[in-house]
Amino acid sequence: MRRQHDHRNQGIFVAEGEKVVRRLLESNFSVISVLLPEKWLVELELLLRNRPEHIDVFVAEKKLLETLTGFSMYQGLLAVGKIPTQPSLQEVISRNPRPCLLVAVDALSSAENIGALVRNCVAFGVHALIVGETSSSPFLRRAVRSSMGTIFQLPIVESQNLVGTLHELRSRGVHCVAAHPHVNGRTVTQAKLDSDCCIVFGSEGYGISQPVLAGCNEAAAIRMSPSVDSLNVSNAAAVFLYETNRQRGKM
């Protein structure tokens, strides 16, 4: 359970908790196995039977499961799924209605933060999340849990060069906006968010790196009390994405 690098190499992820496992079973993601106490087997039996693939189901009491996993389990449910093949930028842009709405992350290290960001992306209609080469994977166990299973609804594009990806987006007419707290006077309500756009969020401690910042068309900040220098990235994302929907007449 702690060897998440091995999971990544195998192209798998772990879903934890009743809601997340249920949403995985309801999704189009491939499921490999489920590990759960007998009472949850009764609850999920119909979903398991309706799945198209063969799923290995292991049943044990919660105390034994915690011994096997090495950590406390609130509900005692785990499932292993396959990470889907990621779409290309061209596929994301061409198969979604215009204007498109993308989010990118630069050096976001906290699995919980990236999971919460995924949840906000789905809540506000983001078409895909672009994960920079210095960011944590949204398929880490804690990220999947923090997303509450919304990761199963959001296409993920993993970039090996976020600066290059932003240049490609700009060449396709996508306006790239950096959510940057230290901008002289320009606020989120003044940013151009009503056309095809990609909003870029940075790391918890240092924000957006200078090369990524330079790769954006513009930067904008959330106006707030001078005694607070920034918001948690998921909170900042909620503000930016709400404003994007407002500018597009959806709020």
Closest CA to 87 of 141, 159, 142, 30: 159
Torsion of CA 41, 46, 52, 57, to 10 degrees: 10
For residue 73, the model assigns a pLDDT of 66
For residue 229, the model assigns a pLDDT of 78
For residue 2, the model assigns a pLDDT of 59
pLDDT tens sequence across 141-168: 999 999 999 999 999 999 999 999 999 9
Lookup: tokens for 157: 């594009």
Least confident of 13-27, 176-190, 235-249: 176-190
Is the pLDDT reported for residue 240 higher than 80?
A: yes
Quick check: 80 and 55 in contact, CB under 8 A?
no
State the burial class of residue 239 (Cβ atoms within 10 Å of its Cβ: 0-12, 13-18, 19+): middle
Quick check: 144 and 151 in contact, CB under 8 A?
yes
* Mean local confidence (pLDDT), 5-14: 86
For residue 72, the model assigns a pLDDT of 67
Angle at 122 between CA 249 and CA 143, to 5 degrees: 150
Choice between 67 and 58, residue whose per-residue pLDDT is larger? 58
* Residues of the chain above pLDDT 70, percent: 94
* Mean local confidence (pLDDT), 16-27: 96
Q: What's the gap between Cα 5 and its chain centre?
A: 18
pLDDT tens sequence across 166-186: 999 999 999 999 999 866 668
User: Is the pTM value of this prediction over 0.85?
Assistant: yes
pLDDT tens sequence across 94-139: 999 999 999 999 999 999 999 999 999 999 999 999 999 999 999 9
State the average pLDDT for the chain: 92
Instruction: Give the max Cα distance, the chain.
Output: 58
Domain ranges of the chain: 4-82, 89-247
Core vs surface per residue 24-51: b (16+ CB within 10 A) or e:
bbebebbbeebbbbeebeeebeebeeee
Quick check: 125 and 118 in contact, CB under 8 A?
no
For residue 51, the model assigns a pLDDT of 97
Pairing verdict, β 56-59 and 31-36: parallel
Cα Rg for the chain, rounded, in angstroms? 19
CATH homologous superfamily of domain 4-82?
A: Ribosomal protein L30/S12 (3.30.1330.30)
Helices (H), 15-161: 18-26, 38-49, 62-69, 89-95, 111-123, 141-146
Confidence of residue 71 (pLDDT cuts 50, 70, 90): low
Please state, in angstroms and rounded to a whole number, the distance separating the CA atoms of residues 228 and 185: 16
Please state, in angstroms and rounded to a whole number, the distance separating the CA atoms of residues 81 and 21: 10
For residue 3, the model assigns a pLDDT of 65
Residues in CB range of 18: below 8 A, 6 or more apart:
40, 43, 75, 77
Q: CATH fold of 89-247, please?
A: Alpha/beta knot (3.40.1280)
Please state, in angstroms and rounded to a whole number, the distance separating the CA atoms of residues 49 and 169: 42
Q: Which residues pair with 218 in a beta bridge?
A: 177
Q: Which residues pair with 179 in a beta bridge?
A: 220
